[in-house]
Structure 1
Amino acid sequence: MNEKYVVNLRDVAIYHADNPFGSCSEKKLLQRGEMVLSEVNLSVAPGEFVYLIGRVGSGKSSFLKTLYAEMQLLTGKGYVAGFDLRRLRRKDIPYLRRRIGIVFQDYQLLTDRNVFMNLYYVMKATGWKREQEIRERIDRVLGLVELGSKSYKMPFELSGGEQQRLVIARALLNDPQVLLADEPTGNLDPVTADGIMQLFQKIASQGCAVVMSTHNTALIENYPARAVLFSKGKIREVDLKAELA
C-alpha cells in the first residue's frame, strides 16, 4: 500500500458485531456481524481535511471505529498511520492509537483532575518518562488550543467549547498523523463550533490529517473541504457545493 497516505482503504467491507476486538475468529465475526458498509475505497493524505457526511445510522461511526481498531477489519485492505488493520493484534492497538488522535462528542475527561493532570495522566500512560519533556509537550498543546492560562482549572470549570479544546489537546499529545473526530461540534453553539473548526483547520495546515463526521451543513458551507457521503451501505465522494445548492 502507498505510504504517502495516512489512511488507505481498498475494497473494504465494514461489519458491526457485538464482539470485542480479537475475541473470536474472523470467520465467526463475519457470520455474526451485520455488514454496515461495502466496497469502501478511500485514501487520505497528510494534512488533508475530510468530512464524513450522511444520515444517522449510515455507518460513519462504525467507519471511524474501524480506523482506530474498536471494530475489527475483516475484509479488504486497510492501513492507518502505517499499521495494517487486517494483521493488527490486540497488543498492537495502543501503538496504533499513539499515532492517531481521537475526538469524541462526549468528552470523556477525568473529572477529578485538572486540565494539566488530564494530559499528564495520558502521557504517563502512553510511555512518556522524562518530566521536562512531558511538561514542555503539555505546554505546547495547551498553547495550540488556547488553554495555556487554564491548566489549573477543573473540567467542570470549563465551558463546553473549552472542554472540547482540552479533548483536542489530549488527542494531539503524541503528535498524531491523523485526527479522527466523531461529531465534535454536536453539543456546541455556532460561535463555539466555529472556533473548533478554525482549530481543526490549523491542525491540518501543520500536516496532521483530519477526518471528521458531522451533520452540520452550516459548518460545511463555512469551512469547505473534501467530503465523503455515506448512503445505502456505500460511500462516495461528493461535490459539496452541488449537494448544498
Structure 2
Amino acid sequence: MIAFEHVHKSYAVRRGDWVLEDLHLTVEPGELVFILGHSGAGKSTLLKLITLEERPTRGTVEVAGFRSDRIRRGEVPQLRRRCGVVFQDFRLIRDKTISENVAYCLRMTGTLEKGVVRRAVARVLHSVGLYGLRDRFPHELSGGEQQRAAIGRALIHQPPILLADEPTGNLDTRTGDEVMEVLLRLHRAGTTILVATHDEQRAQRLATRRLTLEQGRVVEDLFLRPHGTEIY
C-alpha cells in the first residue's frame, strides 16, 4: 500500500543536506506504525511525502497505486482522498461548528447534496464520540474533543490510510489516551495508520511496528507484534 524506494529529500538549494536519506520502506495494509525520532529527524517530512505535499528529491514513493514519478497533476486529489491527515494543532476553522468543519472537506471536493453530507458527517461524528457536540464551535470543546473532531474531519472520505502528526503532543496523558483509543478503534476496523510521535511508551504498548528515525535515516525498524494481537 505504501512504499518508499531509496527516497532522499532535501530542502536545501544545494543537494546533500538530506532531511531523509536513502529511505527504503514498505507499509502493508492494516499496520499501525509509530514513527519515532527527535525534532528534525524527518518524521513530518515522511508523512508529507505520502500525500505528495512534498516530492522526493531522489527515489520514488508509491501510495495506493500512485507513484510520485508518474502521477499526473489531476490525480493528486485522488491520492489525497485516500489519506486522512491529523495535525498536532487540530487546524479547525474557528467560526464553523464541528459539523461544518467535518463537512468542509466534502463540500470542497464537490459533494454538495445535503442528505449525503449530513449522513456522512453523522457517521464520522458517531465514530469519534462527538455527535452530541456537533453544533458546538471549536473554542467550546476541550483539547481532546478538538483533536477527535480533527480525526473525524480526516475520516470523512473513508480513507484507507490515516496519517497522524504528533496527535497527542498538545494533550495531557488522560486526554491523549482517549485520542489514541479512537485511533485504535479505527485500526481494529482495518485502517492503516502511521503516527509520528516522541512517545516511546505508547509506541511500545500500542504499535504493531516501531520505526525510529535519526538524522534522516532509519536506525530501527521493529515489528512488535503481528496484526490483530495488539495490546489495548
Shift of the 121–156 alpha-carbon distance from structure 1 to 2, 3 Å rule, reads same
Aligned residue for 1:14? 9
Task: Map residues 137-176 of structure 1 onto 2, 5 A cutoff.
Answer: 137-176=120-159
The alpha carbon displacement at 1:231 in A equals 1.3
Specify which of 164, 179, 201 is matched with residue 196 of structure 1: 179
Provide the TM-score with structure 2 as the length reference. Answer: 0.90
Aligned residue for 2:221? 237
Residue type matched to 1:10 in 2? E
Alignment: residue pair count: 224
Structure 1: distance between partners of 2:217 and 2:15: 20
Residue type matched to 1:185 in 2? T
What is the root-mean-square deviation in Å for CA atoms of aligned residues?
1.9
Structure 2: distance between partners of 1:214 and 1:138: 28
For the 8 Å contact 1:13–1:40, the answer to whether it is kept is: yes
Unaligned runs of 5+ in 2: 226-232
For the 8 Å contact 1:73–1:86, the answer to whether it is kept is: no
Structure 1: distance between partners of 2:207 and 2:106: 33
For the 8 Å contact 2:6–2:23, the answer to whether it is kept is: yes
Specify which of 42, 59, 70 is matched with residue 76 of structure 1: 59
Aligned residue for 2:50? 67
Aligned residue for 2:200? 217
Shift of the 224–122 alpha-carbon distance from structure 1 to 2, 3 Å rule, reads closer
Question: Once superposed, which parts of structure 1, at least 4 consecutive aligned residues long, lie more than 4 Å away?
Answer: none
Once the two structures are superposed, residues 190-232 of structure 1 have per-residue CA deviations (whole angstroms, 9 ceiling, x without a partner) of 0111111111111111111000011112322432430111013
Residue 182 (str. 1) matches residue 165 (str. 2): yes
Shift of the 75–195 alpha-carbon distance from structure 1 to 2, 3 Å rule, reads same
Aligned residue for 1:129? 112
Once the two structures are superposed, residues 6-54 of structure 1 have per-residue CA deviations (whole angstroms, 9 ceiling, x without a partner) of 211121112225xxxxxxxxxxx7x457421222111112221000001
Structure 2: distance between partners of 1:33 and 1:186: 31
> Which secondary structure state, in structure 2, belongs to the residue aligned with residue 184 of structure 1?
coil
Structure 1: distance between partners of 2:64 and 2:112: 23
Structure 1: distance between partners of 2:147 and 2:39: 22
The alpha carbon displacement at 1:76 in A equals 1.7
Shift of the 239–123 alpha-carbon distance from structure 1 to 2, 3 Å rule, reads closer
Residue type matched to 2:2 in 1? V
The alpha carbon displacement at 1:185 in A equals 0.3
